[in-house]
Amino acid sequence: MIIEPDYNRLAWISAKLHIIDKRGHFRLLAPNNGQLLLHAEMQQQRARNLPVRIVLLKPRQVGWSTWTEAEAFHDVYHQPNTNAMAVSVDADSTDVIFGMAKRYHTSHPEPLPTDNTNRKAIIFSDPHRSAFHAQTAGKVGVGRSFQARFLHCSEVAFWSDAATQLAGLYQMVPEDPGTYIILESTANGMGGAFYDTYMEAKERVGSGDFRGFRPVFFPWYEFNEYSVDPPDGFEATPEERQEAQLHSLTDAQLYWRRLKIQELNGRIDVFRQEYPATDLEAFQTSGAPVFDAQTIEFQAKHIRSDIRYGLFDPHTGTFEENQGGSRYGWAVLDDPRGEEHVIGADTREHRLSDDKDLKSERDYDGVVVLSRHPSLRRIKAIFHGRMEQKDLGLQVLGAAKHYGSPWVVPEVPQGMMVLQVLRDAGYYRIFNRRGKDETFDPEDTDNLGFRTTTATRHMLVHETIPYLRTQSILIQFEVIVNEMRTFIYDKMGKPIHRPSKHDDLLFGLFLAMIGDIYCPRSPRPVILPATTGNADDPSYLDRYRDPDIELSYSGAVDPWEPGDDDDWGEETTV
């Protein structure tokens, strides 16, 4: 089906509505390339007699808010008894948006009479009775008692509680042809209501169904204004040539890009945030992501789908694959293959993934089996689910037996039951933290496992980041890559998942990497000094030795600083 533009609408807007452009000139709104692209997307639903629902991911300064208000003003001018509402992130932004609509009205050559034109509303007189309203997203009860046929929500990714606020606003717009809901925003990281709406729409758009929200994104190089004729002798850098090849850029576009990056103090990452080339680049480089876009893109290219699901026998270590397609239990990619491994176990705390939403999911247990090849570590198996802690401990024990008795790094204190199950089974190849001047005591459970505090949470994350940046770890599991996309620094600088998202498997990986970094790679059994028992008597250690597992290995400690274990008051959950 070939969809034509609405020429009457375009002609009216360009002949009747005025703007102040970037140069400060008062002129008619002649649509630019980006605004015409947005109009064309709206036509895809409008021409099919469907409600228009657009989720618009925008770069900076392309005039899409201006065009959205023009479309809204067109309808309230031509249709009696029609309300339009614009809702923006804060009072200043709301004033700017309402200023556009007010200018459309006051500069119109044939303005309709009004009963009221104030700071937040234009209300036309009887018998027309249409109106344009503007409000701030933070206003309590916005939209609750209002009915509208055109709703424009601006900079949604930056709203304080977008999911709740949008839920109320949606109810005021009927599901009728000729109604509009336009969500627009620059990106603010991966996660949140705007990101979720955009990605859900993107997944659905390929089905040929034009109902519901349609995702709209245009890369910066689609806009004609983003090009400057380069000087004679212009030569692209290797990085620029790579971008040109990837996106078919002209020299004029490359030169504009170079000038813009110079304007941004050489920050390519900031350029990619403000002028993204892909929608994923927009989300990945905005907000405060822990992982950069290149790291995530590399891991996304190596996701595998040949996953087997099942459970490990805690007695034999045998992997028992599920029947009937069930995905419960472990997700396994590779068997041991003679490699060394390490296991990180992050146990759940029954916490909500969004403490502001009582309906949000609670956290999961996250266990990761990581191979220890020094140049390329691979995640071979994961457990992402919810189990009673004793059962989880038995599964960790079974995985340990299956993968050649690796070091296990359980998080404590939440993982104390997992730790106890391992000890009861005679499995003592457990990560041991101790002060630099302390002596290893196999009976002292207080030093086993990794204790997560405010300080050590940062240590966990930042010990792993360099290995991911240098592509020394292969994630392979899509669920972990998705957790990477929504793992951010919050306002206090704490690395954590976005509200309603998860980081359980990421912390399983971080714990595994602590084991990989600080535990020895080959079994070199030693007898360490002890505070109790006779260290000279070989039978002393026999009490703690599995026939196939040495009790302890030199180096299986973390670089603990004095006083860290006293940090109970600042305990931080993972």
Please give the residue that has the higher pLDDT: either 222 or 273. Answer: 222
Provide the mean pLDDT of the chain. 83
Give the pLDDT confidence of 500-546 residue by residue, as tens digits. Answer: 788 999 999 999 999 999 888 765 433 333 333 343 443 423 433 33
User: Residue 496: in which H helix or E strand, if any?
Assistant: strand 495-497
Integer Cα distance of 460 and 281 in angstroms: 26
Range 364-380 average pLDDT: 93
Q: Binning pLDDT at 50, 70 and 90, where does residue 363 land?
A: confident
Bigger pLDDT: 182 or 22?
182
Dihedral class, residue 526 (left if φ above 0, else alpha if ψ from -120 to 50, else beta): beta
Q: What is the largest CA-CA distance in the chain?
A: 103
Q: What is the pLDDT of residues 330-349, one digit of tens each?
A: 999 988 888 899 999 998 87
Token pair recorded at residue 66: 């201006």
CA distance 380 to 370: 6
d(CA 528, CA 270): 52
Question: Would you state the pLDDT for residue 75?
Answer: 96
**Which of 264-268, 293-297, 441-445 is modeled with the greatest confidence?**
264-268
More confident residue, 408 or 287: 408
CB-CB contact of 221 with 260 (8 Å): no
Rounded CA-CA distance 17/10 in Å is 11
* Mean pLDDT, range 159-186, rounded to an integer: 92
Residue 452 banded pLDDT, cuts 50, 70, 90: confident
Strand partners, 379: 370
3-state DSSP call for residue 51? coil
CA dist 13 to 29, 73, 112, 282, Å? 7, 9, 15, 30
State phi, psi for 56 to the nearest 5 degrees: -115, 110
CB distance 168 to 180 below 8 Å: no
- Hey, what are 465's tokens? 């980041």
Check if the beta carbon of residue 125 is closer than 8 Å to that of residue 112.
Answer: yes
Give the pLDDT mean for 358-372: 82
Q: Mean of the pLDDT values across residues 419-429?
A: 90
Q: What ranges in 275-385 are assigned the alpha helix state H?
A: 279-284, 293-300
pLDDT score recorded for residue 565 = 38
Q: Name all domains of the chain by residue range, CATH numbers in brackets.
A: 7-218 (3.40.50.300), 222-287 (no CATH), 308-570 (3.30.420.240)
Is it the case that residue 192 has pLDDT exceeding 90? no
Measured at the alpha carbon of residue 501, what is the angle toward residues 495 and 505, in degrees to the nearest 5?
A: 70
Residue 572 has pLDDT above 50, yes or no: no
Query: Quick check: 72 and 173 in contact, CB under 8 A?
Result: no
Average pLDDT over residues 291-313: 91
Alpha helix locations (H) across 47-129? 64-78, 91-106
Give the Cα separation of 366 and 382 in Å (integer): 7
Residue type, 27: R
Exposure on the CB side of residue 482, measured as CA atoms within 13 A: 11
| Cα(360)–Cα(168) distance, integer angstroms | 18
Tell me the three-class secondary structure of 292-310, residue by residue: CHHHHHHHHCCCCCCCEEE
pLDDT at residue number 117 = 63
Bridge partners (DSSP) listed for residue 223: none
Tokens coding 467: 């290995």
pLDDT > 70 fraction of the chain, expressed in percent and rounded: 83
Q: What is the pLDDT of residue 115?
A: 87
Give tens-digit pLDDT for 115-157.
866 668 999 999 999 999 999 987 655 555 678 999 999 999 9
Residue type, 121: A
Q: Does residue 564 surpass a pLDDT of 70? A: no
Query: Hey, what amino acid is at 431?
Result: F
Give me the mean pLDDT over the 266-288 stretch: 81
